[in-house]
Amino acid sequence: MNNIRTVSDTKRAFYHIHTRPINSIYRRVVEELMVEMHLLSVNVDFKYDPIYALGVVTAFDRFMQGYTPETDKLSIWAALIGAQESDPNQYRADATALEAQAASLAVKDLTDKAKMAQESSGDDPLQSCFHAIANNPKFKYSRLLAIGLYTLLEKSDATAAQDSEGLKTILSDFSEALRLPKDKLVKDLDLYRTNLEKVAQARLMVDEMTQAERKKREQRAAQTQTAASGSKNPSKDDQVSDS
């Protein structure tokens, strides 16, 4: 009987690949994503899916936006996927392929593919993904899959993705066609969009604090330089008194 990996096993694997500390504002995001992926990977009903991969890639890129140094960000990505015993390059390749296809489709074409999923597997990557989801009675839904679906919509029509009423209709079409839980889909995407706003606000606050601290250091350095310059160049009165 195979031993099921634990969360601790996954975390150890992660920090074996990425050995540098993670900036505090991003650490919670990385660890929550790592644990979420781990719990899915050990679920007997979970199966890797390119739309899920797109959700993982999108969540990582959006929440890690602005992370420096860039080399550490690349290392964190490799560690996140490697710790799940998966290939980070496959995630990127599958996500890129679906994004490119979605960008060439109108929203109606996108939803029509979903509606045809139960009957046809099609001959393109996206149709195949939809077919596999719709025809798997034990398909394991996840928040990351929902993010992947939303990203497809964004690539197809960014304006439609921001239209609250229109989005509800599209998500309803997706949930019915792919046999996904509508309430969870809507709730997960509402939370995702809210969290993106919170992270953006936190990032802005950190940037403002960093800039303020930089200005203070520059002012202190200028004051120190001025004081040092004054001590090297005594005033005329001091020169007269010395003579």
For residue 216, count other CB atoms closer than 10 A to its CB: 10
Q: What percent of the chain has pLDDT over 70?
A: 90
The pLDDT score that the predictor gives to residue 42 is: 94
- pTM of the prediction? 0.83
The pLDDT score that the predictor gives to residue 1 is: 46
DSSP 3-state of 116: coil
* Paired tokens of 75: 């290392």
Please state the length of the chain: 243
- Alpha helices per DSSP H over the chain: 7-17, 24-41, 50-63, 70-82, 88-103, 107-115, 125-134, 143-156, 158-162, 164-178, 182-232, 236-242
Q: In degrees, to the nearest 5, what angle opens at C-alpha 129 toward C-alphas 127 and 135?
A: 95
Note the Cα 193 to chain centre separation in Å.
11
Q: Which of 41, 76, 44, 71 is nearest to 59 (CA)?
A: 76
Whether the link from the prior residue into 234 is cis, omega within 30° of 0, is no
For residue 145, count other CB atoms closer than 10 A to its CB: 25
What does the mean pLDDT of the chain come to?
88
Q: In degrees, to the nearest 5, what angle opens at C-alpha 51 toward C-alphas 49 and 53?
A: 70
pLDDT tens track for 116-172: 988 877 778 999 999 999 999 999 999 999 999 999 999 999 998 888 888 989 999
Q: Give the least confident one: 81-95, 117-131, 195-209.
A: 195-209
